[in-house]
Amino acid sequence: MQGRKVLVAGLQHENRQILQLQQENRELRQALEDCENTLQLIMQKHRDVVTKLAKQFIPSFRASVTLLHFRLKVVAHTSKKCETSINEKIVILSRLLNECLADGESVLNHDQEMEKIPDTMIKRNAKIPCTREKTIR
């Protein structure tokens, strides 16, 4: 009999715990539902505010973007003109440099030929007896 009383007491205790947990579960579900409803209200207010701001600022934003796009086109066009001008100047300078190099080479060749002339003159003078005496004196 004693064992039966202990068993019934244990079952009653477990039953009370189950009832408490069920009540706590109902309260938590109600709290969760309240939080979800509050969050939905907050999100709706947020959407309304964002929509209002978007309607207010999007036209001016579009105008700013359009102006910025136009300025970028102008800068790109100016940049292309500058690039073309720079390329033309580079071509002119490279032609001038090539001309200078060609002139320098021709002057160098001319100088080398002029250096050879005195050597050949001395050799010719040495071969002719009468000029040899003049060069010795």
- Structural domain boundaries enclosing 96: 2-136
Structural domain total, the chain: 1
Task: Please identify which residue in the block is written with the tokens 């000029």.
Answer: 131
Contact at 8 Å (CB) between 125 and 131? yes
- Nearest to 87, CA basis, from 76, 79, 98: 79
Across the range 47-65, mean pLDDT stands at: 80
How far apart are the C-alpha atoms of 50 and 44, rounded to whole Å? Answer: 10
Predicted pLDDT at 95? 83
Please report, as a single letter, which amino acid is at residue 34: D
Cα angle value 65/70/71 (rounded, 5°):
95
Average pLDDT of 89-111? 79
pLDDT top residue among 119 and 99 = 99
Q: How confident is the model at residue 9 (pLDDT cuts 50, 70, 90)?
A: very high
69 closest CA partner among 57, 81, 61 = 61
Tokens of 51: 């929509």
pLDDT of residue 42: 95
Say yes or no to pLDDT of 111 above 60.
yes
Give the Cα separation of 70 and 79 in Å (integer).
14
Q: What is the pLDDT of residues 87-98, one digit of tens each?
A: 888 888 888 878
